[in-house]
Structure 1
């Protein structure tokens, strides 16, 4: 792993704030040569976040146009084109030949003349799609998390290095890093407002998620792709898909990534205990340890009737911080953010499109991959009930999605996600699950 960034090779300042080196981008060169500043973008993944990110692009203030879409399902691709065309008319120009359908649809989409690609597919599919987009020389915005296993994270990290060589924009959907309230709060912590950070607490406790009933004509792959959140090879479980935001904040304010994790979790309410519908946990608790011995404590769950809370807190030698609440209590007195709070999903696209328009390139791929792996480390600790070392898992961790590049909607899912004769999906059992199998 000597060619990959270490867990401690991590800048405290947000890429959104620092923006990295200023470079002349492909868009800037061609736009001025052609007398136009239009940014053409294509969408891979027509679900909620794909549509949402597209709307955020349209509202960014930049001269953008959607020129192609791809999705596993024809209905979703068509619905996205129809919906966005009605709302944004001249900003959408997707002819019939630029609508691509199937699990390999992204390959055809990348042949379209587009400057920027949004990748908003299930995490299990992102590593190969990101790699292909980098090879195609596209600027990229990719939703989090960026993978579902260690193999995928390594693949993304390798592609990030290639994207840097090509001076490609890489934005990652960890939008808190673009919000003024987080930037200032964490900046003050880095400047010593609470002294040395000795512990953090991070939470994503909610009530539940969507589920789509099986239909008679669906293949097993189609069913799982339509319910991707419920299968760990596709989503990475709740700790990856949602709780990654809070884990990312904890590592950001600490300025490094953990060296190990132990955890616990299970299933109490998930689909009313029916293992024929889902294989993921509905609660996790993790204790992450950093190189200096300090801790990050994590709660993530989907339990109806329980305490719901999405937030981050920091404890230091000279005070405490409610990071998500943008408040600090320290020896120098109390402070509370007084500026305009920003909506991160919109701000991240404002920043990305504005930077491209100026010919500036920044790359969020490294911390996107390492924060994803922090969540994977926690999941594997909870699934196994063991203490897992960062380096061990990153180098030798279980591969959840082997052979994924060649999957079609008719291909059987990975063996670890296939139902048994009784229709039940394999459920990780702490004490029995092997994170290195």
Structure 2
């Protein structure tokens, strides 16, 4: 890179660092960070994934310092700081009480703290406005997947992605398979024609279930849903968004495009024993995605105790088949033999090393489009109808209008408001309208 600014100048004034072409996520895995410039970062969202991402940033070769945290709940913030302060990482934390921010609007105060990098690991329903705020503040960003829970959120994210490019900001998205050498090399071979033209795919996230947090007497309805976010569509986007997005992302990466439409089916078999007073999301979805060339991607997402558990992807081509995680069968048979890395850790190595070299990449578009692929599938399963990408992106139902002004005492959105008997609305295929 020519005319590259010094690392500190890059971190502080990235909008002025016109330092050559942006990198993709294929940053050399053997490159290591150098120098002693400190990268200050803040953590927005102190749950398991946020705490994990911060710990993985600590494990990089960068000189990093956590300087502020924000969460909807004090307990989450306190637990994160306690967990991250263990052992040698204690020296990498400088978060006094006045830089611990709590509430649904706490992200603003945390992002306002002088820092280079913002880590956003909140439930997907809250991410669009938090991402927008961080971009407006000129911060580099790591944002976990999925990046939104509805079409309105995806549109907002895409607009902010364009702003992040104008400001030359680093934007990394937590679709960690894109940073794993086994996936990267296999998919590169597929793109080079190892299995011919890709004509069909199957992608799976079938597991046994997820956590549930019982309501406490002191909680408002908004606090209960925010704390129990995986069970409410406006916050999580359902299992197809929150987990199955990884496999859908791989399928679209393999194909090199996103689907134009989807039809699907789904429902609730075991979710909370069928109790609609505790949860509103489905426990199984099955989708048929269609690409512009007419080829198909078939998807299964499931939480079902006692069923077949499998997380993975498969592709069929005109000259062979592939498991994108490392195997090609057919005339060009091949198996990945390199080092298997922890994808969550590798994406943080790539992020911090690139920042310290004064180089950036922007993963925002595929983060948003892969999120929308999951939303497209969910709306097809909820409605039982064929749903088209362009129409849904333009007109899809907004699940949480006015979310920017929500507090823990606000009324929950109508899409998750319980009836007189405490039952939450559960989408009914054949009746649900994705454009309501």
The Cα of 1:260 is off from its aligned counterpart by 0.2
Does structure 1 residue 418 correspond to structure 2 residue 398?
A: no
Aligned to 1:65: 65
The Cα of 1:83 is off from its aligned counterpart by 1.9
Summarize deviations over 1:119-167 as a string: whole Å, max 9, x none: 0000000000000000000000000000000000000000000000000
The Cα of 1:32 is off from its aligned counterpart by 10
Counterparts of 1:85 and 1:251, CA distance in 2 = 39
CA contact (8 A) 1:124 1:233 kept: yes
1:133-152 superposed matches below 5 A? 133-152=134-153
Summarize deviations over 1:274-333 as a string: whole Å, max 9, x none: 000000000000000000000000000000000000000000000000123x1101223x
Counterparts of 1:192 and 1:208, CA distance in 2 = 38
- TM-score normalised according to structure 2 size: 0.93
Counterparts of 1:312 and 1:328, CA distance in 2 = 12
* Secondary structure of the corresponding residue to residue 161 of structure 1: helix
Does structure 1 residue 83 correspond to structure 2 residue 71?
A: no
Counterparts of 1:318 and 1:363, CA distance in 2 = 33
* Secondary structure of the corresponding residue to residue 193 of structure 2: coil
The Cα of 1:28 is off from its aligned counterpart by 3.9
Counterparts of 2:6 and 2:68, CA distance in 1 = 19
* Secondary structure of the corresponding residue to residue 405 of structure 1: helix
Aligned to 1:393: 392
Aligned to 2:31: none
Aligned to 1:349: 348
* Unaligned runs of at least 5 residues, structure 2: 14-34
* Secondary structure of the corresponding residue to residue 110 of structure 1: helix
CA contact (8 A) 1:43 1:118 kept: yes
The runs of at least 4 consecutive aligned structure 1 residues that moved more than 4 Å come to: 21-27, 30-33
Counterparts of 1:32 and 1:42, CA distance in 2 = 15
1:255-294 superposed matches below 5 A? 255-294=256-295
Counterparts of 2:122 and 2:369, CA distance in 1 = 19
The Cα of 1:193 is off from its aligned counterpart by 0.3
Counterparts of 2:70 and 2:297, CA distance in 1 = 38
Counterparts of 2:131 and 2:7, CA distance in 1 = 19
Counterparts of 2:224 and 2:401, CA distance in 1 = 19
* Secondary structure of the corresponding residue to residue 85 of structure 2: helix
* Unaligned runs of at least 5 residues, structure 1: 1-20
* Aligned CA distance change for structure 1 residues 114 and 32 (closer, same or farther; 3 Å): closer
Counterparts of 1:139 and 1:24, CA distance in 2 = 17
CA contact (8 A) 1:23 1:361 kept: no
CA contact (8 A) 2:270 2:304 kept: yes
1:143-182 superposed matches below 5 A? 143-182=144-183
Aligned to 2:357: 358
Aligned to 2:334: 335
- TM-score normalised according to structure 1 size: 0.93
1:119-268 superposed matches below 5 A? 119-268=120-269
Counterparts of 1:50 and 1:25, CA distance in 2 = 31
Aligned to 2:23: none
Summarize deviations over 1:390-429 as a string: whole Å, max 9, x none: 0000000000011000000000110110110000000000
Summarize deviations over 1:369-392 as a string: whole Å, max 9, x none: 000000000000000000000000
Aligned to 1:40: 40
Aligned to 1:29: 9
Number of aligned positions between the proteins: 414
CA contact (8 A) 1:118 1:142 kept: yes
CA contact (8 A) 1:244 1:375 kept: yes
Aligned to 1:311: 312
* Secondary structure of the corresponding residue to residue 210 of structure 2: coil
Summarize deviations over 1:230-283 as a string: whole Å, max 9, x none: 000000000000000000000001000000000000000000110000000000
Counterparts of 2:3 and 2:162, CA distance in 1 = 16
